[in-house]
Chains A and B, each alone.
Chain A
Amino acid sequence: MRSIKSVLRAAISAALALVAAAALQAAPPRFGGTLRVKLRSSRISLDPREWTPGSLNSSDSRKIASLVYDRLVTLNDYGQFQPALATEWTHDATFKTWHFKLRAGVHFSDGSALTPALAAAALQSTSGKNFEIAATEAGLTIHSLQPAPDILEQLASGNDFIFRAQLDGKLLGTGPFLVAEAVPEAPAEANPLATKPARIKLLANENCWAGRPFVDVVEVTLGEPALRQLLDLQVNRAEIAEITPDLVRKGREEGLRIWNSAPLVLVALRFDDALAAPASDSLHEALWLAIDRDTMANVLLQRQAQLAAALLPQWLTGYAFLFESPMNLPRAKELRASFPAGVAGAEQALRLHVDAPGDLFKLMGERVAVNARQANLLVQVAGVGSANNTAAPSDGLHLFAWHYDSLSPRTELETLLRQMPDGSDLGANAADPEQLFAQERRLLEEHRILPLVVLPEYVGLRANVHNWNGSPWGDWRLADVWLEAEDTSSGKAAGSTQKENMPARTPGANQ
């Protein structure tokens, strides 16, 4: 009976093919094509063991690495953990011991089999000393000294990819793409004073356990300046490019299709240890009260950022709204008036080191200096750093950018604190949200880290990019992206006015 339906369906499908092809929205997925991706980072590493926590560079590295490596589990947009290289998992009553069953028949890109021992070795090298990971006959066991109810969040994010290190140090993965070529930055042949940007070429893994990706090739160009990336999208030299917050409005006005994640980058100030209490306490609080975050987010960053009063964002903890950052200039002046002589920030300028790269962060640093001056505090912007959170150990104040990497709030806060000069630790029960809130509140009340704003990631997409389904936490999921054929998409790249803002509770879906 239903075979009649099939015959009918087949018979009319040819007749409707032209109509379907013409209707962009009804087009079926298409295999093939080259996806050109432009990134701002001039250098990335595909070795998760080299990534610096919280760094903007490492976050770009992670995006590309996720095309090559897989995780044990992933998290979908509906809060459900999905099997990836692990097909099943269980834990004991204390959440200290977790057993994962490894998917059978998975191979690395050189054809060698994924084994529990290799998976355990990879995870042990990225997860550090928090876990003891042992291979079992069918998978692996992860033992944690502390209860780890959030281990799935940890494994579905951060650096915990599964890979195999070869003798020459290169890493192999089981993911949807394999690295075909990695060309480092080099002087341009025509003009030795100019440089040719680094490039990475990835080919579709035909034998990927989860299915071949739709596109044949992903070409990643590194070190593209922000404005150039915008132009590349407009003149059909890129399908996907990062957009800096200050260019989002311009891009949208020019009809670009721009997607944004949840706020993923914290911009904050950090006092180093050189300043002694109690004078420093008043200085910290005075600066905290003097900063005009509202102007920073809405004017300097053109409403493309949110004020930050917490270290972790609302989308990650659910409780960040409890923190407030009231600007109180009179109180800041009062505190300033009480400073004893010789305190930095009073007669002697407090040096502000901008540890994050780019003009935007420097502008934010200058804005902090202006706000400080309004409270009679002397702050002088000293220098601009790199994208790797590797600030010079200078005295004074640092403006830094922190990329949220983990889906576990506890892990994220722990990692953030470890990168601070005194490397404080969280309590044992910090997996409990109330305990974590208490810890974060304590840290904020010390005023040693002053959150300023949180920024989403913005991605410009050409109109021929389909099935884009970036996660709110910044995974690009490029294996599921497919490209409309060039002959039908020409001229549409800059013509679409669709804006892809991630709705809070109805993110996109695809499988």
Chain B
Amino acid sequence: MDSSSEFSRHNRWVYPGFLGLFLLIGLFAAINPPRTFVFADSDAALKETARRLAERVAAIPGLHGPLRFEWHPQGNWAEGEGTRWQDSLRDAFDRRALQLSDEAGAPALAVYAAETPSEVVLTAKTHVGDRDEVRIVALPRSLLPPAELRVAPVRLKRQLLYESSDRILDAAWFSDGEETYLAILLYKNFDVVAVRLDPMGQIQQTLPLNVAGLKPTRDPHGELVFHGSQSSARLWGKTCDFSWNSAVEAKCRTEKFNMPGDSAWPADAVLTSPCGDANWTISDPGGEPTARAVLRLAPDGATQSSSATLTSEFPGPVLNFSPEQNSGGALLMVRNLSTGNYEVYKISLACGD
């Protein structure tokens, strides 16, 4: 099995076939307000904040290097997140000619990082002569990239395909006969939007469904269904038919679908192993919406408590599951509890360790 799952902000997008997602992010961020999509040049905000702090520290009268840099994150910061901040700060201090040193005897320049409800606050504290000097800067949390995914090492291959601050109702692969696309159904600001990504992960199309008479809900759910060139979005109380290749607006009709209370984990939540063709059943991760989901897979014939069971922790509750046709894999929709974003993962089994 492939022990994948080490995602970080640096390497998240460097997966074969999904390099294009990076371009997609830029494109999507450009056509969406930055408040609703989190990838708008996030490094720039971080670096700019580090620059502002370094500028203020460098302006402290009588402060001379070398200084011993200390990093004090408050609470449970992800390791990768802290590293990025430290790298940016060191770089910013360096550009301001503030020499940093690892020598224990050097005066300390301590930087404290804390999150408030809406901001990240950086506080630099140092001692000059007989006085403490404090410099503080802040930046909106919404301008930062999502925290590094802290996932347990697992023996399950998984890839993060798509991420959005808008609720993802469903995701599924579909083919127009020539290319295979990833379709995403979003609940965006109380409207439903269908998005099509090409095989490189770039947004090809964004289709607001403009569903007339769709009652707003606190429990949005939906499903994409494909019939040849036609696609349908089955929503609560409505079903909308639309075509990706036509400019005609979606046609919606009243139709009850999967009302709250009758949903259940699908029995076809199965992954097929490419080595031996064994089917592995994924049991219902269950859990409250405030808990990280642990996916448990057991091969046919084994119980869920068997030693053959695979487990994989996801950064939040699993909201939906969509099996892939013919590949033995599946798409999993998850809410990331660290960032609040909705994510689509491709999960599959791989041979070997």
Chain A residues engaging chain B, CB cutoff 8 angstroms: 1-3, 5-6, 8-9, 12-13, 16-17, 19-20, 23, 25-26, 28-31, 75-81, 83, 87-88, 152-153, 208-214, 314-319, 321-322, 407, 409, 433-434, 437, 466-467, 469, 471-473, 479-480, 503-511
B116: Cβ under 8 A from any A Cβ: yes
Q: Is A2 touching B224 in the complex (CB atoms < 8 A)?
A: yes
Report Cα–Cα, A30/B259, bound state, in Å: 10
B141 touches A78 (CB 8 A): yes
Interface core residue of B174, B227, B284, B341 (most chain A CB under 10 Å) = B284
Q: Which of B66-113 contact A (CB under 8 A)?
A: 74-77, 112
Candidates B189, B217, B265; contact of A83 at CB < 8 Å: B189
Note all chain A residues with C-beta closer than 8 A to B268.
Answer: 5, 8-9
Which A residues touch B119, using CB under 8 A?
A: 79, 318
Q: Which residues of the other chain, A, contact B76 by a CB distance below 8 angstroms?
A: 503-506
Which interface residue of B117, B125, B267, B268 has the most chain A CB atoms within 10 A? B117
A9 to B225, CA, bound (A): 13
Judged by a CB distance under 8 angstroms, whether B312 is at the interface is no
Tell me if A76 and B267 are in contact (CB < 8 A).
no
- Residues of B near any A CB (own CB < 8 A): 33, 35, 38, 56, 74-77, 112, 114-121, 123, 125, 134-138, 140-142, 144, 147, 165, 167, 172, 174, 189-190, 215-220, 223-227, 234, 260-268, 284, 286-290, 316-317, 322-323, 325, 335, 337-341
Q: How distant is the Cα of A29 from the Cα of B288 in the complex, in angstroms?
A: 10
Nearest chain-A residue to B189 (Cβ)? A83
Tell me which of B116, B144, B260, B335 has the highest count of chain A C-beta atoms within 10 A of its own C-beta.
B116
How long is the Cα–Cα vector from A13 to B267 in the complex, in angstroms? 8
Which residues of chain A come closer than 8 Å to B267, judged between CB atoms?
A: 8-9, 12, 16
CA gap between A437 and B138 in the complex, in Å: 12
For residue A23, which residues in chain B have a CB less than 8 angstroms away from its CB? 284, 286
Q: Which of B134, B215, B325, B338 is within 8 Å of A505, CB to CB?
A: B338
Contact of A13 with B189 in the complex, beta carbons under 8 Å: no
CB of A319 within 8 A of CB of B290, answer no
Whether B134 and A434, one on each chain, are in contact in the complex, defined by CB atoms closer than 8 angstroms, is: yes
Select from chain B the residue with minimum beta-carbon distance to A10.
Answer: B258
> Roughly how many angstroms separate A285 CA and B268 CA in the complex, as a whole number?
70
Closest chain B CB from A80 CB (angstroms): 5
Residues of A within 8 A of B290 (CB): 469, 507-510
Q: Contacts A2-B226, A31-B260; is A26 near B266 (CB within 8 Å)?
A: no
Q: Are B260 and A30 in contact (CB under 8 A)?
A: yes
**A436 to B204 CA separation, bound complex (whole angstroms):** 47
Instruction: Please report the C-alpha to C-alpha distance between residue A317 and residue B121 in the assembled complex, in whole angstroms.
Output: 8
The closest CB in chain A to the CB of B146 belongs to A78
User: A363 CA to B268 CA in the complex, in Å?
Assistant: 61
The answer to whether B137 touches A433 (Cβ under 8 A) is: yes
